[in-house]
Structure 1
Amino acid sequence: MDKWIKEASAFIERKTTKNAIDIGASFPHATKQGKYDKESPQWWTAGFWPGILWNVYHATNEYAFKNLAIQLEHKMDYLLNNPNKVDHDIGFMWTLTSLARYQITADETAKNTALLAANMLLARFNSAGHFFKAWNNWHGTNDNSGIVIIDSMMNMGLLFWASEETGDPRFMVAAKAHCDMVLKHFIRNDGSVHQMVRFNSLTGELIEKLGGQGYSKNSSWSRGCSWAIFGFAIAYHYTKEERYLSSAMKVTNHFALHLQHDPIPLWDFRIPSHTDGTKYDYRDSSASAIAACGTLLISQYAPLEEKRFYLAFGRDLLKRLYEHAATIEDDQNQALIIHGTSHWPEKKNLDTGLIYGDYFFTQGIYALNGINNNFWLGDSWNVL
């Protein structure tokens, strides 16, 4: 094992130990001057800090991490009785809390909570359009009932797991239908990805494709590519449908082509090349961390002659993050990695630490260290 992987693991454990005291039972999202802000338990990122804690507990067996993760999970319990307060990111939120707890501790209560979350997610399925609606129907005067975003691919794992756990095919059927819809309407021939698509929620017909968090409707939002890479790799893991693996590989190849030798990808691979006084060239470390985890999973299933490329690319993404984004020399910065971009179109959280970047960096490093538990898959994995 390379020295940098061991060093990165030790760095994660050291900083998480400090953050367990400083952040505690709060729900961090993005850093401001090196300190994480706090969101409510219903914000879509609520599961990532508990997910980090479960990863570090799994690696160290230090009960303080486990106890804090459970405390955070229970702060989210009220949402399971309030479906109007949650959206499709039920998958993100409870995969990394209740499902993680069940996988590590075999606690039946945690399993039942994860299944309840999966049922709440299943209820969001639109049978006319074969999609899971991203958000609740109305936000002010905006009708969101037909909005779907590429991020949704990461929520399908909870449904695949629920079908495997219970034997109930409804979860699998709906998740596969959604994945096939994404293949049809989100993935371009060159491997780039649309971030947002609007459908008629009554007929299921396509209305328009939107830019969302990307620069434009024709651009290539790098984190959206990462969600597709990992999401389709997860879909292949559960279904063994070749079209999902092929799509994950195609988007990875697009990502690699546009990353080239940059240590951290641009937040959008198709930002304008001209200068008009606007700063476009922000980086997004979270896109690399997510893509690394997805690419490492692809390496488990890719044809023999391609395995080495995907494994090497995933390792290289993580090494670049460790060398160019990790806060190794800054003990006061609560983020594990910096240079993340949350939402450039709304000018939110630019060049900062993001809790989901930290989570996927942790998962990826631990995977290389052979001590990771991939909560998205419902079972342990090891890329070595």
Structure 2
Amino acid sequence: MMKKINLAATLLLLIGSVSCAQSPKKPMAQLINDEFKFATDQYQVLAKNIPAGKTPQSFDKGKSINYDIKWWCSGFYSGSLWYIYEQTKDEGIKQEAEAALKTIESNQTYTGNHDLGFMMYCSFGNAYRITGKPEYKAIIQRSAESLATRYRPAVKSIQSWNKSKLWECPVIIDNMMNLEMMNWVSDNGGNPKYKEIAITHANTTIKNHFRPDFSSYHVVDYNPQTGEVIRKATWQGAANCSAWSRGQGWALYGYTMMYRFTKDEAYLKQAKGIAHFILNHPNLPADKIPFWDFDAQGIPFAKRDASAGALMASALLELAQYTKGNEKTEFKSAAETMIYSLSGSAYHAKLGENGGFLLMHSTGAYPLNSEIDVPLIYADYYYLEALARYKKWYL
């Protein structure tokens, strides 16, 4: 009986490769153009479901889910729109992107958590890159100033969440993503202290967040007075000792980005180590869209996380830019597989469905019974970013 169960599990784990083999692949250039055209049409559906003053998050049980602008995901909608506009030059998309920026503009002075990079750089960063408007740059600079208030010198890190009954000074692996804004501001006329903070935070994270196999803990809680580690734990992963999939993606993207800004070989080594952990993990399915945790209970029946796959694809495409030979081929090829998987019927919405979101089957916080097997705005964002990066670097 056990052999039959194991055989069934193996077959399910391989199903991604079977379905891919049966479907002829579009040339990547055609796929990318088709996807941005689809996104233009699909996001017109999404835009109709957003109340004034809110930002879109998900769609579940036939209802659109929108959150307050202080929610950490509030910058992804406008950022996605800017990626679409950059490729299509659709004026309606541009107008919606500008309106979405206006909605979240006041976040530039927010200091309630560490997510200013997600909120303000994914949005205003892309807007400034594409338009060059000086008012956008000023908002990014002000946002970096706000984020810097959460730096804790004793810990040598930016504090992620505020003190609570559970945590003293928690730092989560997601925080690596917010360092991009800090680096960029310092490199573009802002205070050099922001980049110094980013480098110090990245070094502390290498020291305390990672296991010998390059997998990452989700949360490290520190003593804010001494900087000593209190405990290493999880909030969204399967267990304190597990490898929460999106967390591994944040780490991969974060250290690849840190190498871009510093050219410090330690960051490149870290990024490559994380990439090899992900791509060589026995629980990574053949379609390379991970389960929500690499150690999730019930694999291969566990839920997938398309957002982690999109994030990893985008990161791997950049990492391939900094590597050579077999590693470069491995990282680029894996990203291609992820993109093709996400663009296929298993994860990709049909026009007019899915609440206007592009991708299905993401997992937000499984242990909290939150956002399970639903579309998520940041899955769309990193998918669009991966498509744009592929077109820029490989076509």
Alignment TM-score, normalising by the size of structure 2: 0.87
1:114 corresponds in structure 2 to 140
1:283 and 2:309 correspond = no
Structure 1 equivalent of residue 130 of structure 2: 104
The counterpart of 1:16, out of the listed 43, 50, 53, is 43
* Amino acid aligned to 1:312: S
Deviation per CA, 1:231-287, whole angstroms, max 9, x where unpaired? 11110000001111111111111111231414521100112359xxxx971111100
State yes or no: 1:172 paired with 2:200. no
- 2:105 corresponds to which residue? 77
1:333-378 deviation digits (Å, cap 9, x = unpaired): 42211110000110101111011001111111222233xxxxxxxx
* Equivalent residue, structure 2, for 1:312: 333
CA 261–82 in structure 1, closer or farther in 2 if over 3 Å, else same:
closer
Residue pairs, 1:42-61, within 5 angstroms: 42-61=70-89
Residue 169 (structure 1) shift: 2.2
SS of 1:197 mapped into structure 2: strand
**The structure with more radius of gyration:** 2
Q: Which amino acid aligns with 2:347?
A: A
Counterpart code for 2:268: L
Identity %: 29
Letter in 1 for 2:223: N
Structure 1 residue ranges without an equivalent (≥5): 371-381
Unpaired segments ≥5 residues, structure 2: 1-26
Change (3 A) 1:52 1:35: farther
Deviation digits for residues 271-313 of structure 1 (CA, Å, limit 9, x no counterpart):
2359xxxx97111110000000000000110134421111111
Q: Letter of the aligned partner of 2:291 in structure 1?
A: L
Amino acid at match of 2:294: F
Aligned to 1:377: none
Map of 1:379 onto structure 2: none
Alignment match of 2:151 (pick from 103, 125, 128): 125
Q: Is the 8 A contact 2:51 2:66 kept in 1?
A: no
Q: Distance in 1 between matches of 2:203 and 2:102?
A: 34
SS of 1:76's equivalent in the other structure is: helix
- For the Cα contact (< 8 Å) 1:34–1:334, is it kept in 2? no
Give distance in 1, aligned partners of 2:394 and 2:204. 30
Equivalent-residue separation in structure 2 for 1:199 and 1:49 (angstroms): 33
Amino acid at match of 2:255: F
TM-score by length of 1: 0.89
Alpha-carbon deviation of 1:332? 5.3
Distance 1:72 1:10 in 2: 20
- For 1:170-249, list aligned pairs within 5 A: 170-249=193-272
- Are positions 1:294 and 2:315 aligned together? yes
Task: Please tell me whether the aligned partners of residues 59 and 354 of structure 2 are also in contact (alpha carbons under 8 angstroms).
Answer: no
Aligned equivalent of 2:12 = none
| 1:375 counterpart residue number | none
Counterpart of 2:360 in structure 1 is: 338
* Alpha-carbon distance in 2 for matches of 1:82, 1:154: 17
Q: String of CA shifts for 1:92-136, please: whole Å, max 9, x gaps.
A: 011022222211111111101100001111121111111100023
Letter in 1 for 2:313: A
What amino acid is the match of 1:230? Y
Residues 6 and 67 of structure 1: is their aligned pair in 2 closer, same or farther, counting only changes over 3 Å?
Answer: closer
RMSD in angstroms over aligned alpha carbons?
2.0
How far apart, CA to CA, are the structure 1 residues paired with 2:138 and 2:129? 12
Shift of 1:36: 3.0
- Tell me: CA distance 1:222–1:44, structure 2 relative to 1, closer, same or farther (3 Å): same
CA–CA separation in structure 2 for the residues paired with 1:368 and 1:13? 19
Distance 2:385 2:49 in 1: 21
Q: How far apart, in 2, do the equivalents of 1:129 and 1:332 lie?
A: 43
Structure 2 residue aligned with 1:269, among 294, 307, 321?
Answer: 294
CA contact (8 A) 1:124 1:132 kept: yes
- Number of aligned positions between the proteins: 364
Q: In the TM superposition, what is the alpha-carbon distance from 1:13 to its structure 2 partner?
A: 2.4
Q: 2:91 corresponds to which letter in structure 1?
A: Y
